[in-house]
Chains A and B, each alone.
Chain A
């Protein structure tokens, strides 16, 4: 009797979870599409809606208008695509670390990986006098080397989440000190250049950035999906997972590598844009309210936060283009605060 009732309840709960997942995903997709359309439409040079649509279809229809096509296809479209790709990458890097290390504060911008990229980039700008793509390479290398160092230092008959987090923040403190030191020793103009890079921006984005980042995502996302299967067992604890036949170390190392890849490629493309990695996971999970782990939803949230922030950054002040990193912090944080308050009323935060 009771078992029959229990089973009905389980089925009901599962259906409700699936419904909620679908609704949240759809809502996020619609919001992302709307903001994407807005990103193609808004700008200093007014282009009517028909013009935007005609430009987008011009490769198929052959109807071209050189000026409008340049604005829409060469300026606004690549920028919007890069915002979506980098936002999703940061979000996935963040949610992987937050899930693996079981701490909502353990995103790459807090446990040292973003610091590695930043310190390396600031070194390249101030000491080596580099700029442009060279700095991106420097940042990428810095992120990978830092992540590797954290993992090796945390390795001792295996790796525990707690050790990775603590060693990560130790590394973060050292690298932040490197940046501060370089800032006090450099000329003001170099400090300004470095500061601009540290905030993160899409203002100097090139179409090539999206191609590199997109190519990386084509490899990283399938790898992540394959590795995520091992994660269910690991949530029961390492020992139980091992006895169930899960390859704990392999899964964890693999997922960390994938997360570092997401963070490093995105940082190389747009700079260490703050807070997207941190905020997307908790936001997606609060929306889902327990209905799933929220990886795809987090990627959508990240893309949405990045794209919307970039739009705000471009149009907030009349004659200045703010870097996107200034806005992601404020926008993402207000979004999170609103959710905290909203879920505070119903008495649940996850």
Chain B
């Protein structure tokens, strides 16, 4: 009688402990991100810079102007990417679903490319709004196309519509980049995905969206659990399928749109982190979502730190390092464990 209950309590205790450990690791990584770079700054100076700012100290200025915004952007973008990936995989029940499959990255890229090619924009802070609007529009189109027909936005229709819209948008992007070398030159650096050079303004611009997105995403956990049983079962249990998918989609687009706006398109994090989280927690989005939210920024910030020190005096953009750190780890995990199918 008591055995299953205590088993469940054990599991909950174990997973809570895991979450705390991840939060601790995240704090360590964030601190490392403040101290590491072309000019190493000891932790004491970091502490002084935050508590007793001295404008004449170069170290203090580096912390406030460069490292702190960069670290905050990394934390926010990482959490947003991890969560949006997990939510999208749950809502579409497809292990390959991620923001880039559903047109978000392509929409953001097209908006930025158009801004550069037509209006000569070169400021990162103007890209933010362009990328956000582009991502939102793309996802809206994908969702409306997939919702046509009697049974609404089924997983397979969402995936196909997303891939189709992505292809259309990418075609336009390629056509512009091929005919306008100036735009190609400007956009090739944005397209990689990077945390460098993001000022505190960008943090202030995107963080309201990201906070709303995080709350909305965490609130959909129960609905995603329902959807994971299949539409028919979920409907039989009284769940409103369209509403659930709509809310999950909204959360994903706000999160991924904000993340892409702040850091450029970073494809790998949202796709793979939820799989790692699922391998630890087992099914159940109540746990998968917070695990994804904490693990993704660890991957992103850790990669960013590595990118700063790996090829001095230059830096390697975080989008590149993430793929090179994350992919082998992900492949090893896929090989070693039997990952749960969705």
Chain A residues engaging chain B, CB cutoff 8 angstroms: 103-106, 110, 153-154, 156, 162-163, 165-167, 169-171, 173-174, 176-177, 180-181, 183-184, 188, 191-192, 195-196, 199, 274-275, 278-279, 282, 320, 322-323, 325-330, 332-334, 336-337, 340-341, 343-347, 349
Using an 8 Å CB-CB cutoff, how does the interface string of B311-342 with A read, 1 for contact, 0 for none? 00000110110111011101100110001010
A105–B163 contact, CB under 8 A? yes
- A340-B145 contact given A167-B334, A170-B327, CB 8 Å threshold: yes
How many Å from the CB of B189 to the closest CB on chain A? 6
Most chain B Cβ neighbours within 10 Å, of A103, A174, A274: A174
B96–A169 contact, CB under 8 A? yes
B171–A330 contact, CB under 8 A? yes
Asked if B177 CB lies within 8 Å of chain A CBs, one says yes
Residues of B within 8 A of A320 (CB): 179
A103–B192 contact, CB under 8 A? no
CA distance A278 to B159 in the complex (A): 12
Return 5 A-B CB contacts under 8 Å, by A number. Answer: A104-B156, A170-B327, A170-B330, A191-B184, A340-B157
Residues of A within 8 A of B170 (CB): 274, 329
How many Å from the CB of A132 to the closest CB on chain B? 19
A192–B149 contact, CB under 8 A? no
CA distance A162 to B156 in the complex (A): 16
CA distance A239 to B295 in the complex (A): 36
Asked if B219 CB lies within 8 Å of chain A CBs, one says no
Asked if B18 CB lies within 8 Å of chain A CBs, one says no
CA distance A154 to B170 in the complex (A): 30
Residues of B within 8 A of A340 (CB): 145-146, 148-149, 157, 160-161, 164
Using an 8 Å CB-CB cutoff, how does the interface string of B150-170 with A read, 1 for contact, 0 for none? 110010110111011101101
CA distance A153 to B328 in the complex (A): 11
Residues of B within 8 A of A105 (CB): 94, 96, 101, 159, 163
Residues of B within 8 A of A191 (CB): 184-185, 188
Asked if B175 CB lies within 8 Å of chain A CBs, one says yes
A188–B184 contact, CB under 8 A? yes
B149–A170 contact, CB under 8 A? no
CA distance A334 to B161 in the complex (A): 10
B151–A106 contact, CB under 8 A? no
A323–B331 contact, CB under 8 A? no
- A341-B324 contact given A166-B95, A191-B184, CB 8 Å threshold: no
How many Å from the CB of B289 to the closest CB on chain A? 20
A282–B335 contact, CB under 8 A? no
B319–A177 contact, CB under 8 A? yes
Residues of A within 8 A of B168 (CB): 329-330, 333-334
New A-B contacts (10) at CB < 8 Å, excluding given A169-B272, A328-B171: A162-B95, A162-B341, A165-B96, A166-B95, A176-B267, A274-B167, A279-B167, A337-B145, A337-B164, A340-B164
Asked if B275 CB lies within 8 Å of chain A CBs, one says yes
Residues of B within 8 A of A328 (CB): 171
B150–A347 contact, CB under 8 A? yes
Residues of B within 8 A of A330 (CB): 167-168, 171-172
B174–A325 contact, CB under 8 A? yes
